[in-house]
A and B are shown apart, each in its own frame.
Chain A
Amino acid sequence: MNTGYKSCNTDSCAERRQLLYEISKIDFVLKELNLYLDTHPYDQQAMEAFKHYNMAKNKMVTEYTEKFGPLVLSIVDMDCREWKWATQDWPWEGGYN
């Protein structure tokens, strides 16, 4: 039986999905560097890489928040008409993730 999951195919959905995919990829790199640095805390190359990808991730999350809604509460959605954190779907529904 169908689970009811439908992939949204508009341009806006495609852009949103693509941006979230790029954020997930960068965050995966950050997670890997995070765990590696825990056991190699003096590896300067890894620290440089962490700094680089962390800045890139923040930039992309800010762009995502402005265009589509919040991913984290620390990067604030400036839209004051609606608290999208609560009104938009949660990630376990499938959605854009």
Chain B
Amino acid sequence: MWNYEKRLQFPVKITQTNPQIAQVIISQYGGPDGELAASMRYLAQRYTMPYNSVAGLLTDIGTEELAHFEMICAIVYQLTRNLSPEEIAKSGFDKYYVDHTLALWPQAAGGIPFNACEFQSKGDVITDLTEDLAAEQKARTTYDNILRLVKDPDVCEPIKFLRAREIVHFQRFGEALRIAQENLDSRNFYAFNPEFDK
């Protein structure tokens, strides 16, 4: 069950359009290491997670990621608001526009549609938490790549906030992996899979 708060986690107020940069940033909506994949990854993994505190963390980070793709969508929406057909043609935004006009649609920067194959739910505690640690770092790298291309402070500030959250989540997932290992056989963490072997 979820409730909606009618505000963004961090403000997004962009005054200048920039369809080129919108096409890059949309990757953090529907791309391989985007916020949508992050949210769905954690919320999918939690059901078979045998430790309550780790299932709670997956729920709460998965929920925060929903607020993050809302911010990414707000950035893309504002960067493409009020575009004229001439600007669309000139900026290369025409290939997106022809299928979606100015609506939000989850895709990677290269045009590849969002796909559930972009996230893993493997059903093994160590495997899934290691995946989550990597996912947070991949998202952090993507934000670093975005920040090298963006100059507008209206866009940089929310992106910097999202980048910092990846680092916090990485820290918390590291603690979750430690909690999992404390519950396993310290002589052989792989002796059994607590998500399957009873």
Contact = CB atoms under 8 A, between A and B. Distances in A.
Contact of A3 (B3, B16, B53, B179): B16
B61 A97 contact: no
Interface string B65-78: 00000100110011
A34 B60 contact: yes
Interface residues of A, number: 33
15 contacts: A1-B17, A3-B78, A31-B64, A38-B60, A38-B172, A39-B53, A39-B57, A40-B175, A71-B7, A72-B3, A73-B4, A90-B6, A94-B13, A94-B14, A97-B12
Given A3-B79, A92-B73, A35 B61 contact: yes
A20 B7 contact: yes
Interface of B: 3-17, 53-54, 56-57, 60-61, 64, 70, 73-74, 77-79, 81-84, 87, 168-169, 172, 175-176, 179
A5 B16 CA distance: 9
Interface of A: 1-5, 7, 20-21, 23-24, 27-28, 31-32, 34-36, 38-41, 70-74, 85, 88, 90-92, 94, 97
